[in-house]
Amino acid sequence: MAKANNRLPKLVDRAGRLRSHIAEMKEELDSIESELKDSKLDEIDGKRYRSTISRFKRGKTNWKTIAEELGATKKIIRKYTKNQTITRLKITARLV
């Protein structure tokens, strides 16, 4: 493992604390949003904000399976498949 400069461990701890706070707020937000959606209303006015609730159906097509069923080879499917590199940062709580 590469040696981190003195500032990086503090940044890791700060990021971890922020993620913890965000997770708590996200849990509360999810609960509130669920109750609003379950109300069956289209609009709900608060003193400062308005909630507009839209309901719709959305489908997803599995084009790879369709191509395979139509006889496309793996080579052809790969030719038309885009790949990208994703950099992921994971921070977990330390037990110290």
> pLDDT tens for residues 3-58?
668 899 999 999 999 999 999 999 999 999 999 999 988 989 988 889 899 888 88
User: Among positive and negative, which fits the CA dihedral 76, 81, 82, 88?
Assistant: negative
The predicted pLDDT at position 58 comes to: 84
The predicted pLDDT at position 37 comes to: 92
DSSP secondary structure of 22-55: HHHHHHHHHHHHHHHHHT--SEEE-SS-EEE---
